[in-house]
A and B are shown apart, each in its own frame.
Chain A
Amino acid sequence: MAERQFPAAIANPESQPYWDAAAKGKLLLKACKGCKKNFFYPRSICPFCGSSDTEWKEASGKGEIYSHSTMRRVPEPYALAYVTLAEGPKMLTNIVDCDFDALKIGQKVHVVFKPAKEGPPIPAFAPD
């Protein structure tokens, strides 16, 4: 079965560092120096405490599936998922390189970077 082709990422001045890191095979998230919480998706002002003293942090790339659903009514089925990152926050993503029928909540996964139609590769997750 053909794999779904990722569309090009949409970057803006606020998210550019995330995609620059993805181009180097690194997954970033944001950490707040004010309340010490990690958050995702990244933004400049902390959604927990409102502090603008936030910094980019490289994620370990490890996590586990919080929930998932495989879209079947398309020519190239794909698995949408939330992955709970080892750093705490949940990230909306896809699970790839897997048997869709075997996916389970709680399953350990790790980040992989997949080519996009153009631009930087897209972070997705594969079972360990």
Chain B
Amino acid sequence: MSIKGKAYIMGAYEHPTRKAPDKSVPQIHAESAMGALKDAGLTKDDVDGYFCAGDAPGLGPLSMVDYMGLKVKHVDSTDVGGSSYILHVAHAAEAIAAGKCSVALITLAGKPLTSPVPRAVIPTAPDASYESPYGIVVANSYGMCAMRHMHEYGTTSEQLAWIKVAASHHAQYNEHAFLRDVVTVEQVVNSPMISNPLHRLDCCVITDGGGALVVTSPEVAKSLKRPLVRVMGAGEAPKGQAGGDTDLTYSGARWSGPIAFAEAGVKHSDIKYASIYDSFTITVLMQIEDLGFCEKGQGGKFVSDGNLISGVGKLPFNTDGGGLCNNHPANRGGITKVIEAVRQLRGEAHPKVQVKNCDIALAHGTGGSLGVRHGAATLIMERV
């Protein structure tokens, strides 16, 4: 069984806040949920499936279903880090195709800017005995991937910087973006070193915020007034250290991408817009190579030719400014990736960055930590 055509993304809402000292995390989940339901033209009483991940406070779906007053018959709290919400769209489509629910709500929220919680070592994690002494955090994990990519393929810091430059070109038009200034390659490579070779401007923003999506059955979708965004195909792939045969030069996108393209039955040249997870510049570079948008190792040239800039390049990406400039709520960029893809497919992106005749789009994410264990998720969508 395939999920192709079995579900539609009918509601998409990005909470406008980027700094929310006066709100609770459950409150931002609920405000985002209400925003997405209103966007779809539905109410909370229509929801019969609920999806959330590790950012949902308390006991995930049990706490949030109760808080929001939902009555659902299907829940899924699959957590693969920041890419969870891309995967949730696919899991919602699976549940809808199997008749388990017909209106699935997906939410994310968090306050890492105003209420940061340090990532604690989980002492029972299988790697804890062997890795916890070494101070692994996200920036040095991704830094090692960038270092190895540079070694193998000759990728440069200037090439990586082009990814931030492209994101900033888009963010200037987004009134909600955390960083709206257009930056240059020189500004990126001259920003302070965080964990080499990654500079401060190679990193995503840290913002409070949230987002939500509503995925429905075809019957429900066709009863609504919003443009129809159909799920075409999806793939997911965890990738780790392979027992010590560790290879940092590629991501799980190498595996999740072909599954999604095969299910959708589309080619790379059919993709008019791509939301690409951008926790760091290197994340984008590796994913576009692994998804097959350019040859492996040629990502540096591809991005420095301006290919990611809407209206200029072959693969307009993250036209909201992405995690690099706009928003990275809860330190998890997956839901905003789907939201901007939906805006593009509906023709509701900012006119300065709207891709013409945007009928097919892709969203891809990397959750967890690219240098140790991560979860790749790819989603292909179509406007009908």
Count of chain B residues with Cβ under 8 Å from any Cβ of A?
40
Q: How far is the CB of B24 from chain A (nearest CB, A)?
A: 29
Please report B residues at the A interface, Cβ cutoff 8 Å: 121, 123-124, 126-137, 139-141, 143-148, 151, 192-198, 241-246, 248, 372
A40 to B241, CA, bound (A): 9
Q: Which residues of chain A (5-61) have a CB below 8 Å from chain B? A: 6-7, 9-12, 14-15, 18-19, 29, 37-43, 46-48
> B196–A70 contact, CB under 8 A?
yes
Q: Which residues of chain B are within 8 angstroms of A48 by Cβ–Cβ distance?
A: 243
Q: How far is the CB of B39 from chain A (nearest CB, A)?
A: 39
- Asked if A110 is an interface residue, CB under 8 A from chain B, the answer is no
> B193–A72 contact, CB under 8 A?
yes
Q: Which residues of chain B are within 8 angstroms of A122 by Cβ–Cβ distance?
A: 133
A10 to B262, CA, bound (A): 44
A18 to B129, CA, bound (A): 9
A105 to B140, CA, bound (A): 15
A37 to B243, CA, bound (A): 10
A46 to B242, CA, bound (A): 11
Q: How far is the CB of B134 from chain A (nearest CB, A)?
A: 5
Q: How far is the CB of B222 from chain A (nearest CB, A)?
A: 47
Q: How far is the CB of A68 from chain B (nearest CB, A)?
A: 6
- Asked if A71 is an interface residue, CB under 8 A from chain B, the answer is yes
Report how many A-B pairs have Cβ atoms within 8 Å.
Answer: 125
> A41–B129 contact, CB under 8 A?
yes
Beyond A72-B194, A80-B144, whether A15 also contacts B129 by CB under 8 A is yes
Q: How far is the CB of A90 from chain B (nearest CB, A)?
A: 4
Considering the complex of A and B, which 5 residue pairs feature the smallest CB-CB distances, nearest first? A89-B244, A69-B143, A15-B129, A41-B130, A47-B243
A10, A70, A89 interface centre (most CB from chain B within 10 Å): A10
Q: Which residues of chain A are within 8 angstroms of B197 by Cβ–Cβ distance?
A: 69
Q: Select one of B123, B144, B147, B372 contacting A10, CB under 8 A.
A: B123
Q: Which residues of chain B are within 8 angstroms of A15 by Cβ–Cβ distance?
A: 129-130
Produce 1/0 per residue, A51-90, CB < 8 A to B. 0000000000000001111111100001011100100111
